[in-house]
Structures are given as C-alpha cells and as structure tokens.
C-alpha cells in the first residue's frame, strides 16, 4: 500500500492567547514558559540583570530563556516564581481554581491567615452563623397543616369525631395556606366546575375564622354528612345545577367546619428534602 503524505495547516488548528493583550496570536517557536518569564518580568519591572543576580545566574541566561535559545533548569523554577511573585500555575499558563478569586478575597484570606488560632475560631463561628442565616433566608417557607382523611361529603357522625383522623402535613407557604389550618378532600361533583372530585381544599377552621358571609364557600356538617357548599341566607347551594339547594328548619343542626380558601394544587405539598431542611432550620 503506497504511503500517503499528510500535511497540517500552519497553525495545526491551535490558537494561543497572548498573555499581554489577551488576543489570539500565532504559534511561536519560543516555549510558553519562556514567554511567560518575559511577560511577568516586564510586568514586575525587573530587568534581566537584576533577575539574574537574584537567581545567582548570568544575565545572558535570562536573555537566552526569553528568546527561546534555552530553557531554565527545573531546579530553578521555584526561585523564578518567588522572584516574579507568581505560582507555578502562572508560570506554565495553567488555570487554577483560585484564578477567579478577587484581590479583595485574597486580602481577606491573607488577613485570616495572620490571625491567631483563637481569633480564627471566632471568625469561623461568625461565618457559620451567617451561613445559617443565608440558608434560612434562601430556604422555602413552609406551613404545617392538618390533613383530614375523611372527605367533605363523606358521612362522619359526631362532628368531633373527624379530629382523630388528622395527619400533619407540610405545604409551601402562600397567602391562602398561611390563613389555613386544615386540608380536606372533596368527594363528588356538586361543586363543579370550581371544586372537583378528589381535589384537596384549604380550610380555615371555625376557631380561626369569624364566620361566613353570604356568598362565601364553607365546609359544613349536616347530620351525618360533610359538605362543601356556598353559604346563602336561605341555605347551602351547589355550583352544579343538578344538585338542589339545601334548606333547613329550626330543628336541624348545621355545623360550620370553616371557610374554604381555595384548592391546593398537588405541587403545593412540600418535597421531603424541603421538609427536612425546614425542620433542621427551625428545631
């Protein structure tokens, strides 16, 4: 099989950045380490003779490095970094994790390292406290409510019996959930299209509400049944026209559970990780 000759573009597809200007530059025959020595020496305003004297070498050595005729001995690299006040990463053009640290942050680190261990402990505690405050402010606000497993419109007998069915749950705080203290599930279609079968509704219990005004939606117990209905002067009404109004005489007892504030969307229930975080911050 005959040999094939391959040729690469002049720059091999490689783009270098000039450390002085930050602009792309063509590939140089001078090793990168040599270019960076010259860059940082100029930046620190150190002449070749002074740098050579501080390294204990001849002035020609610095010139040879910067023109690419030779490279510094590996044993001289720490001393070169010390003279130029740079790191090995700077010298070799390697981006370090500290590259994004501002001068102010570096100064704070320097000051922290100059403190005694006792004072560093105080700073550590202060930072921990402030971090806790930041986390608390960033954490979603939750509300603990009581969820009742017996649905509205399901028979429960004595109005006090449903208290035993209460289960504490956490929901994300909203204007509605902040006023609520209970959650009930709707059973049936008498209040459609506003309240559908299987939906959970937020309820402000009687102890927390001043009573209903005509036209408001409430949760009621009538006899052995619980209902979600619209309260009017002459009785309780459904939104679904298929269901007749409920009228009462003086001998019938109607018990108000509380005001229905609105539907709780399934996404309103807090995620477990948010609950655990909330409990940790409020224990």
Domain 16-100 has what CATH class? mainly alpha
Instruction: Give the mean pLDDT of 162-180.
Output: 84
Q: What's the pLDDT score for residue 100?
A: 66
Using CB atoms within 10 Å of the CB of residue 125, give its burial: 0 to 12 exposed, 13 to 18 middle, 19+ buried. exposed
Q: What's the pLDDT score for residue 134?
A: 67
CA distances to 8, 45, 62, 98, 193 from 83, rounded to whole Å, are 39, 11, 13, 20, 79
Let me know if domain 142-273 sits in CATH 2.10.109.10: yes
For 87, the token pair is 């790191």
Q: Whole-prediction pTM value?
A: 0.50
Q: Indicate whether 174 pLDDT > 70.
A: yes
CA angle 84, 88, 92 (to 5 degrees): 100
Q: What's the pLDDT score for residue 112?
A: 85
Task: Give the span between the Cα atoms of 137 and 277, in whole angstroms.
Answer: 12
Task: Give the span between the Cα atoms of 268 and 266, in whole angstroms.
Answer: 5
CA distances to 71, 76, 124, 216, 234 from 61, rounded to whole Å, are 9, 12, 48, 92, 105
Q: Cβ distance 275 to 142 under 8 Å?
A: yes
Q: pLDDT tens across 184-203, in order?
A: 989 889 999 999 999 999 99
Q: What's the pLDDT score for residue 110?
A: 85
Instruction: Give the mean pLDDT of 32-36.
Output: 88
What residue spans define the domains of the chain?
Answer: 16-100, 103-138, 142-273
């Amino acid at each position: 099989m005959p040999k094939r000759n391959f040729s690469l573009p002049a720059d091999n597809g490689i783009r270098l950045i000039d450390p002085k200007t930050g602009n792309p530059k063509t590939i140089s025959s001078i090793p990168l380490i040599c270019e960076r020595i010259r860059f940082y020496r100029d930046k620190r305003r150190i002449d070749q003779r002074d740098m050579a004297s501080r390294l204990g070498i001849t002035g020609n050595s610095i010139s040879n490095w910067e023109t690419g005729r030779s490279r510094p001995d590996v044993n001289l690299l720490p001393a070169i970094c010390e003279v130029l006040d740079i790191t090995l990463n700077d010298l070799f053009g390697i981006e370090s994790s500290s590259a994004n640290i501002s001068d102010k942050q570096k100064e704070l680190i320097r000051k922290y390292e100059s403190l005694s261990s006792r004072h560093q402990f105080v700073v550590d505690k202060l930072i921990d406290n402030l971090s806790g405050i930041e986390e608390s402010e960033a954490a979603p606000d939750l509300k603990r409510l009581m969820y009742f497993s017996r649905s509205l419109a399901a028979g429960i007998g004595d109005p006090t019996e449903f208290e035993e069915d209460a289960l504490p749950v956490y929901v994300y705080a909203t204007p509605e959930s902040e006023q609520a203290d209970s959650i009930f599930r709707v059973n049936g279609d008498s209040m459609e299209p506003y309240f559908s079968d299987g939906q959970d509704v937020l309820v402000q219990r009687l102890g927390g509400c001043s009573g209903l005004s005509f036209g408001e939606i409430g949760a009621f117990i009538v006899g052995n049944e619980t209902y979600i209905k619209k309260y009017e002067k002459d009785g309780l009404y459904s939104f679904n026209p298929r269901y007749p109004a409920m009228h009462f005489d003086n001998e019938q007892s109607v018990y108000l559970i509380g005001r229905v504030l609105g539907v709780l969307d399934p996404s309103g229930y807090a995620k477990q990780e948010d609950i655990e975080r909330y409990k940790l911050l409020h224990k």
